[in-house]
C-alpha cells in the first residue's frame, strides 16, 4: 500500500511540473530546458530555510515560489529576446550553470553529498509524516497548480499567449507587447514548478544535484509532449503514464541496471513515435514542432477548399 501511495505522490509532483511547463510549451510555444532548475530552486530553498533558519513550512512555500520567480525573471528577461533555437540554448546553459552551482557550492548546498535530514512539513503544529498525509498535501498543491493554470489559459492573457504561439508577428503588429507577456508567463511557470520542489524535498527529506539535471528537464518536456501540449488534462495523463510505466518493469524481473536502460529506451521510443504520428500528444491541441507558417498554410488550404465548395 505504501508503495502505491509513493507512486501517487511522485505522479502529483510531475503533474505540477508538467502543468507549469505546459503553460510555456503548449500554450505559448516556448521550449525551455531549464524547468528542472526551477524545480531544484524550490527544493533547495525549502531545505535550506528549514535546516538553517527553521522557518515554518508555509513560509518556506512562499519563499520558494518567490525565489523561483526571481530566477525566472533573471533568465527570462534577457533570454526571451532571443529567437527559437537560441532561446533553447540559453535555457540549456542556465540549467547547466544551476547544476554546477548546486554541485560546487559545498558550504551552502552540500555539494554532491546533498542536504540530508530535511524536516517534514509542520502546519500549525500538525506534522505531516505518513504517506497518506503527503499524498493529500501533494494533491492539494497539484490541484492548486491546475486551478491557477486553468484560470490563466481561459483568461484574456491566456488567449494572448495562444495568439503569440500561432502568429507572433501578427500579435506584435496589432500593438501587443509580446516580450512582456513571455516574461510574465515564464516567471509564472518557474514559480509554479518550485512547488514540486517543496513537496519533493520535504517528502524524501534528502536532496542532491542529481535530481535536477538536464535529463530531468527533458523528462518533463516528454510528459508535456506525450500527454498533450496545450491541454492541462493531457499533462495529468502524461505524468501518470510516464511515471507509472517504468514501475511495470519491476514485475518483469529485470535487474535494476538493465531496467534503468530499458526505461530510457521506452521514453525515447515513445517520444519519437508521438512526434512522428501524433505530435500534439494524447490529448493535445497544439502540434509541437510545427511552425506558425505551417499552421497558417493549413488554415489557408481549408479556407480555399471551403470557397471552392
Please report which confidence band the pLDDT of residue 303 belongs to, taking 50, 70 and 90 as the band edges.
very low
* Confidence (pLDDT) at 291: 52
* Confidence (pLDDT) at 140: 98
Per-residue pLDDT reduced to its tens digit, 100-142: 999 999 999 999 999 999 999 999 999 999 999 999 999 999 9
* Confidence (pLDDT) at 178: 95
Please report which confidence band the pLDDT of residue 299 belongs to, taking 50, 70 and 90 as the band edges.
very low
Is the model's pLDDT at 296 over the cut of 70? no
Which residues on adjacent β-strands are paired with residue 206? 116
* Confidence (pLDDT) at 83: 83
Q: What is the residue range of 113's domain?
A: 2-308
Burial of 165 (0-12, 13-18, 19+ CB in 10 A): buried
How far is residue 254 from each of residues 122, 249, 265, measured CA to CA in Å?
39, 7, 14
Interior/surface letters 8-18, b for 16+ CB within 10 angstroms, e for the rest: bbbbbbbbbbb
CB 47 within 8 A of CB 276: no
Can you give the pTM of this predicted structure?
0.91
Cell numbers standing for residue 136: 493529500
Is the model's pLDDT at 217 over the cut of 50? yes
Per-residue pLDDT reduced to its tens digit, 154-168: 999 999 999 999 999
* Confidence (pLDDT) at 288: 63
| DSSP H helices in 80-154 | 84-104, 106-109, 131-153
CB 215 within 8 A of CB 124: no
292 vs 81, which has greater pLDDT?
A: 81
195 vs 296, which has greater pLDDT?
A: 195
Closest CA to 115 of 198, 197, 205, 196: 205
Of the candidate ranges 76-80, 104-108, 137-141, 293-297, the one whose mean pLDDT is the lowest: 293-297
Percentage of the chain beyond pLDDT 90 is 77
Please report which confidence band the pLDDT of residue 184 belongs to, taking 50, 70 and 90 as the band edges.
very high
* Confidence (pLDDT) at 193: 99
What secondary structure letter does DSSP report for 210? G
Bridge pairing between strands 126-127 and 206-207: unpaired
Please report which confidence band the pLDDT of residue 298 belongs to, taking 50, 70 and 90 as the band edges.
very low
Cell 504561439 maps to which residue? 165
| CATH number (domain holding residue 172) | 1.10.3470
292-308 vs 156-166: helix crossing angle, rounded to 10: 90
CB 160 within 8 A of CB 33: no
Residue 151: Cβ within 10 Å count: 11
How far is residue 160 from each of residues 27, 120, 174, 194, measured CA to CA in Å?
9, 40, 12, 25
Q: How many helices (H) and strands (E) does the chain have?
A: 13, 4
Is the model's pLDDT at 285 over the cut of 70? yes
> How far apart are alpha carbons 158 and 304 in whole angstroms?
29
The number of folded domains in the chain is 1
Please report which confidence band the pLDDT of residue 294 belongs to, taking 50, 70 and 90 as the band edges.
low
Of the candidate ranges 59-68, 222-231, 250-259, the one whose mean pLDDT is the lowest: 250-259
Three-state DSSP at 278 gives coil
Amino acid at each position: 500500500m505504501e508503495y502505491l501511495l509513493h507512486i501517487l505522490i511522485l505522479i502529483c509532483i510531475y503533474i505540477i511540473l508538467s502543468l507549469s511547463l505546459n503553460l510555456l510549451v503548449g500554450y505559448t510555444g516556448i521550449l525551455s530546458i531549464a524547468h528542472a532548475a526551477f524545480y531544484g530552486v524550490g527544493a533547495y530553498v525549502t531545505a535550506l530555510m528549514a535546516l538553517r533558519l527553521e522557518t515554518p513550512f508555509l513560509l518556506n512555500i512562499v519563499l520558494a515560489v518567490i525565489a523561483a520567480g526571481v530566477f525566472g525573471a533573471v533568465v527570462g528577461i534577457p533570454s526571451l529576446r532571443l529567437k527559437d533555437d537560441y532561446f533553447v540554448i540559453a535555457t540549456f546553459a542556465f540549467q547547466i550553470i544551476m547544476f554546477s552551482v548546486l554541485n560546487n557550492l559545498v558550504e551552502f548546498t552540500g555539494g554532491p553529498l546533498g542536504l540530508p535530514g530535511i524536516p517534514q512539513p509542520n502546519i500549525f503544529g500538525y506534522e505531516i509524516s505518513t504517506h497518506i498525509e503527503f499524498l493529500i498535501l501533494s494533491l492539494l498543491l497539484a490541484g492548486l497548480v491546475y486551478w491557477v493554470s486553468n484560470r490563466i489559459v481561459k483568461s484574456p492573457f491566456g488567449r494572448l499567449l495562444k495568439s503569440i504561439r500561432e502568429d507572433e508577428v501578427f500579435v506584435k503588429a496589432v500593438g501587443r507587447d509580446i516580450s512582456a507577456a513571455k516574461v510574465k508567463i515564464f516567471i509564472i511557470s518557474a514559480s509554479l514548478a518550485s512547488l514540486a520542489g517543496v513537496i519533493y524535498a520535504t517528502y524524501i527529506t534528502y536532496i542532491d544535484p542529481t535530481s535536477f539535471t538536464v535529463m530531468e528537464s527533458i523528462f518533463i518536456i516528454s510528459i508535456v509532449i506525450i500527454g498533450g501540449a496545450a491541454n492541462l488534462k493531457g499533462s495529468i495523463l502524461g505524468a501518470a503514464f510516464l511515471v507509472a510505466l517504468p514501475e511495470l518493469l519491476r514485475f518483469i524481473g529485470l535487474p535494476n541496471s538493465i531496467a534503468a536502460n530499458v526505461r530510457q529506451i521506452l521514453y525515447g521510443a515513445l517520444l519519437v513515435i508521438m512526434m512522428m504520428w501524433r505530435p500534439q500528444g494524447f490529448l493535445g491541441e497544439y502540434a509541437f514542432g510545427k511552425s506558425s507558417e505551417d499552421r497558417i498554410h493549413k488554415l489557408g488550404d481549408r479556407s480555399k477548399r471551403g470557397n471552392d465548395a
